[in-house]
Amino acid sequence: MSDFFEEQFEKESNYPASEEAGLAMANNSAKLKHADDEEGHLTVDVYQTDDEIVIQSTIAGVTADDIDVSITNEMVTIKGSRKHEEKVKESNYYYQELYWGAFSRSIILPEEIDADNARASMKNGVLTLRLPKLAKSKTKKIRVSN
């Protein structure tokens, strides 16, 4: 293959035109990932029902014991770590897009919740937090006596 063809193919398709080009791309990607020591960032869905705020996050590659959830009345923090069990030489990767290592996410809640009655569950790699809303305080008028 000509260099021109390989360059054009890679530009237009985002796929390497040859095995050598793929290994080179993977090596560059792997080096960039390992140079960065920051924690991974979780994606979340946050929605409400009449009685609770629900937070969901897909967290593949961990068990419930690998996740730490901290809750206050105003904020939720999810922390954990994914362990990469298999050892693969960087030069053998074609693509290296999975994140391994520590991750965290803090979410400021849109309203106060009852942290004491919050529940968390994990099913099929989806973490679900159910946070009961605090009852809105009702204004009560009192009579002033003499």
DSSP-assigned states of every residue in 18-59: SHHHHHHHHHHHHHHHHH--PPEE---EEEE-SSEEEEEEE-
Interatomic CA distance for residues 90 and 67, integer angstroms: 28
Stated pTM of the model: 0.65
C-alpha distances out from residue 128 to 48, 69, 83, 102, Å = 13, 11, 21, 19
Cα angle value 86/91/96 (rounded, 5°) = 60
Instruction: Grade residue 29 by pLDDT with cuts at 50, 70 and 90.
Output: very low
CB-CB contact of 66 with 81 (8 Å): yes
The DSSP output letter for 7 is H
Phi, psi of 9 (to 5 degrees): -60, -45
Structure token pair of residue 100 = 């391994």
Alpha carbons 124 and 104: distance in angstroms, whole number? 19
pLDDT in tens, 49-81: 999 999 999 998 899 999 999 999 899 999 999
Least confident of 7-21, 88-102, 119-133: 7-21
User: Which of 10-14, 58-62, 71-75, 111-115 has the weakest average pLDDT?
Assistant: 10-14
**Residue written as token pair 């074609």:** 94
**Token digits for 13?**
């398709």
